[in-house]
Chains A and B, each alone.
Chain A
Amino acid sequence: MERILAILVKDRSGVLTRVSGLFSRRGYNIQNIAVGRTVEPGVSRMTVTVDADPLTVEQIVKQLNKLIDVLKVSDLTDEPAVERELILVKVKAEPGRRSEIQQMADTFRAKIIDLSPDSMIIELTGSEQKLQAFLTMMQEFGIKEIACTGKISLLRGSKVTCDMKI
């Protein structure tokens, strides 16, 4: 089962290696990882998606907590949370098909952010399913390349995943 973990870490060199190394060493497979800053200076947030049963996830969380640079680990899977991923798609776009692509992008509320004589780059944010649906539609035109951020997630409402006063 897919689980989403939010991991707060000290922003030190090597910390990404420590976390990802722990996953591979213990045989857990990372499906998806996104790393970025938080409001707290010196603290980064990793959002990791893994496919594992609940017992394995419990063990992953315990092992992560043993890393000195890991401040807090939260399992967001069963919490009310919003999840987003950002994707950039470069599609073939001959002049004759541009308006067709433009229409489709509008339907998905995607933005065209670059244009060249024979291709365009489209930016889209959303859930995994939405991105997948969009990619399926774009295949018809010919996808040249994609770049994807990986999933990030925040709890709904005023509750926060990670209390900063740790």
Chain B
Amino acid sequence: MRLTGAQMVLACLEAENVEVIFGFPGGAVLTLYDEIYKKGFKHILARHEQGAAHAADGYARASGKPGVVIATSGPGATNIVTGIATAYMDSVPLIAITGQVATPLIGSDAFQEADITGITLPITKNNYLVKDINELPFILKEAFHVANTGRKGPVLIDLPKDLQAQEGEFYYPETVEISSYKPVYEGHAGQIAKAADAIKKARRPLLYAGGGVISSGAHEELLQLSKMMSIPATLTMNGLGGVPYDYEYFLGMPGMHGTYAANNAINESDLLIAVGVRFDDRVTGKLEDFAPRAEIIHIDIDPAEIGKNISVQIPIVGDCKLVLKELLRRLQPVEKTNAKKWCANVLEWKTSKPLHYSQEPGDYLKPQFVIEEFYRLTEGNAIVATDVGQHQMWAVQYYRSQKPRTLISSGGLGTMGFGLPAAIGAQVAFPEKQVICFAGDGSFQMNSQELATAVHYNIPVKIAIINNKYLGMVRQWQELFYGSRYAHTSLDGSPDFVKLAEAYGAKGLRVAKAEETAATIKKALEIPGPVVIDFQVDPEENVLPMVPPGTSIVEMIGGE
């Protein structure tokens, strides 16, 4: 079959069951967009390419399917760089297709030319500059394969303008064979047996699980392992929903803003079972003091994560779900008095030192209270997307995620401006679900133009701006570690968010008092379109507990 490059791209997206493209047209993708037009392919027009990339990312995180973003050459391509880096750090499958100037012009500093494959080299799993139209079907197939297998991640295809119009022979391969890329899914049987033995012998075992559990769909196995062997569990931010927040043995997040119970359990544990995690510095604090009494089992699909930050005794390379299944097969429920005592201790920490704040009458509105009210009024069933900063930490501490793929947040890169477009992407994946975006007044303004996208397609996301009139997290660090010298963290000059929402044609609401919160949230949830609620909260509330950077995770400020 003879097809043009542009037709090949569309045929490939159909073959891969892609439902929607997030993008922004421009000179070097005109031919591609003409084909999108002719096919009537579903496309969401963002208002900035970065928004399109984050929306594709949010779609992927919520649905588990690769997100697709299209941008033009030059500035269009460079505008999606932050989106690609965000997806790379959190191992999100993303296909980015960029236009490139016509082949004869490449390298001549042509109008809107940028070396986007060069630029994205360190932030993609792989990328391709298409030079021959006949290679395009194979590149497309390979791109989807690489993005969505092994440790998932973004892949970029740079497609010159002339090739989009050039005809070639199209045959979409059903399978792909890359000799140098063969992810290992099945864990090594001997290593799994070792792990099972260690679990049987352990007196103070602890599960420490993360994004790999969500990505491989291992949540049921994780919960089963925890229940069967009475092992308490802590989840990193990207692992939240891996076990239900309300599960008895769930201790909350570990690390910098983790719970006393989780951090203390890591410190006391004699066997840390790390599943789909990467021992990130925000989790471990001072590495030398992390889990000092524990033997460590590390299950991860990426061999390079094993031993990268911390040396482990029982490494298992493989898919979390398959490895946990195999591990469960080798274990029997046992009555262990030792384990009982350990669990009792851990649960005592959990109940005696929970996350806490107080909302007194007449006080400033507390951000934590706002999140809890959202949790209560949505009965924990919403998909939550967040921006980055204090509100993000409060959102993950107080919106008690019960299910996988319901918390969408930029963990690794910590990208401000991620929340709104990611929420839009999640809502596109699940039009019937309630999607809440928790944003900060700082973060929101980094991509507030995407309100237009939400209004344009009537994407009914509810945006809760936790407005403390500061870049709150930076201000908190300045207060605690820089003698309260608030260098450029005050956000004087921010717009009236209610008026801004209304200007876009969305609904705008405002809450400044605790007693108005519930009624306003209820009202917002009932509005069928996008809503912005400006929550004017305590400007100097801090996220607690907090482990100061570079110290051990048991040295917590406000942990008591």
Contacts and interface: CB of A to CB of B under 8 A. Distances in A.
Interface in B111-149: 117-118, 121-122, 125-126, 129, 146
A10 B122 contact: no
B302 interface: yes
Interface of B: 117-118, 121-122, 125-126, 129, 146, 178-181, 302-304, 306-308
B118 A65 contact: no
A13 B118 CA distance: 11
B307 A69 contact: no
B302 A18 contact: no
Contact of A18 (B121, B179, B306): B121
Contact of A70 (B125, B129, B180): B180
A159 interface: no
Interface of A: 10, 13-14, 17-18, 21-22, 25, 55, 58-59, 62-63, 65-72, 166
A21 B121 contact: yes
A14 B126 CA distance: 11
A69 to B, nearest CB: 7
B180 A69 contact: yes
26 contacts: A10-B180, A13-B129, A17-B118, A17-B121, A18-B121, A21-B121, A22-B122, A55-B307, A58-B307, A59-B304, A59-B308, A62-B303, A62-B306, A62-B308, A66-B302, A66-B304, A67-B126, A68-B125, A68-B146, A68-B178, A68-B181, A71-B179, A71-B180, A72-B180, A166-B179, A166-B180
Contacts of A69: 126, 180
Q: Which of A18, A65, A66, A71 has the most CB of B within 10 A?
A: A66
Nearest to A68: B126
Contacts of B125: 68
Contact of A59 (B118, B181, B307): B307
A67 B122 CA distance: 10
A65 B179 CA distance: 12
B122 A25 contact: yes
Contacts of A59: 304, 307-308
Contacts of A21: 121-122
A42 to B, nearest CB: 11
A22 B122 CA distance: 7
Nearest to A166: B179
A17 B122 CA distance: 10
A165 to B, nearest CB: 10
A27 B106 CA distance: 31
Nearest to B155: A68
A5 to B, nearest CB: 15
Contacts of B181: 68
A166 B302 CA distance: 20
Nearest to B309: A59
Residue with the greatest number of chain A CB neighbours at <10 A, chosen from B117, B180, B303 = B180
A14 B117 contact: yes
| Nearest 5 Cβ contacts at the A-B interface | A62-B304, A68-B126, A71-B180, A25-B122, A166-B179
A69 B125 CA distance: 11
B281 to A, nearest CB: 15
A156 B152 CA distance: 40
Nearest to A58: B307
B117 A63 contact: no
Contact of A65 (B122, B146, B178, B303): B303
A114 B180 CA distance: 44
Contacts of B306: 62
A22 B123 CA distance: 11
A47 to B, nearest CB: 18
Nearest to A21: B121
A121 B151 CA distance: 52
A116 B121 CA distance: 46
A155 B118 CA distance: 34
B155 to A, nearest CB: 9
B118 to A, nearest CB: 7
B186 to A, nearest CB: 18
A10 B122 CA distance: 18
B523 to A, nearest CB: 49
Nearest to A70: B180
Contacts of A14: 117-118, 121, 129
Nearest to A61: B304
